[in-house]
Amino acid sequence: MGLFDDTIRSLKDWLAAPGQAAQARRFRPAPLPSLDLAAGGRSSFILGQDTHLELGHPAAGSCSAALATPDPRLVEDGLVTLIGPEIRETSETRLPFAQIVLAALEGENLDQAALMEAASFMDRAVHLHAQADGYMVRSLPHLIWARVSLDAARAGFSLETLGGRILSVIKERCPGISGCEVVLVTRGPEDIAHLNLLVASARDSLRQLETYARGPDGEYECTQEQDCGVCPEQVVCNNIRDVIKLRKGDRIITFGEEITVERG
């Protein structure tokens, strides 16, 4: 089972619950041409006076996550699910915003480190390349704060459009992806708080992975100076040790065991 599979199943259970299922809109946008994607990441800066709507402003709440799985049954390829108002349907200037991207990886015997690296790469790709003229993302760790310009809103920019762009970015920019699904939520702060709880353990694992250095032998080197027994990241680190091989000083720690190794 993949490291993020339980989180993905919990998200799917939440989407299937009556309160969400009754309001969910499902889209299957056509893939964007590579030429259109090439402009991604070069959005102009949108000033406050030129903004039609802010998505995920800190005062409204936001949630951002990218999760990878080896099980294609957990990902409905090409699907965008929206819960909450579309851009054209609200007169608010700020909406809470959740953006969760799910992807299935190709290949057999994928290890959990590969899933974490893929998820981290997906997250960076979406924040950079899903931007477009009239849609600007402020990159924050595990959050998303975006602005839609007045001109873009008048021209018909929508969350359906954004979802299609994200799908295309993942397929175009992230190698080894066999399927991708996007969930967007703008309904209310309670939804954002709940989704943040659902993805918290997955994001903690990804955050901790980013503090490790990976050596040429594929093993991860813990760069923390503290002993494992007193390190504040011990709880998160223990979860990661169950799925990757981790070196700490002269020890290799894997699957909950510490193995002393000689270093030449």
The span from the CA of 178 to the CA of 228, in Å, is: 38
123 vs 261: which has the higher pLDDT: 123
Quickly state the pLDDT bin for 157 (edges 50, 70, 90): very high
pLDDT of residue 41: 54
CA angle, residues 147, 170, 31, in degrees to nearest 5: 85
Quickly state the pLDDT bin for 259 (edges 50, 70, 90): very low
Q: Does the pLDDT value for residue 258 go beyond 60?
A: no
Q: Does the pLDDT value for residue 27 go beyond 90?
A: yes
The DSSP secondary-structure symbol of 106 reads: P
Share of the chain above pLDDT 90, in %: 55
Quickly state the pLDDT bin for 187 (edges 50, 70, 90): very high
Q: Where are the alpha helices (DSSP H) in the chain?
A: 5-16, 18-21, 34-37, 112-129, 150-154, 159-173, 189-209, 234-241
The span from the CA of 37 to the CA of 25, in Å, is: 25
pLDDT of residue 39: 57
pLDDT for 197-217, tens place per residue? 999 988 877 766 655 555 555
122 vs 37: which has the higher pLDDT: 122
**Annotated domain spans of the chain:** 5-208, 213-260
pTM above 0.85, yes or no: no
As its CATH architecture, domain 5-208 has 2-Layer Sandwich (3.30)
Q: Does the pLDDT value for residue 247 go beyond 60?
A: no
Determine how many CB atoms are found less than 10 A away from the CB of residue 213. 10
93 vs 257: which has the higher pLDDT: 93
DSSP 16-85: HSHHHHTT-EEE-PPPPPHHHHTTTT-PPP--GGGEEEEES-TTT-EEEEEEEES-GGG--TTEEEEES-
Residue with the two structure tokens 């066999």 = 178
Which whole number is the average pLDDT over 189-203? 94
pLDDT of residue 245: 54
Cα of 192 vs its chain's centroid, Å? 14
CA distances for 115 relative to 82, 237, 244, angstroms? 25, 16, 11
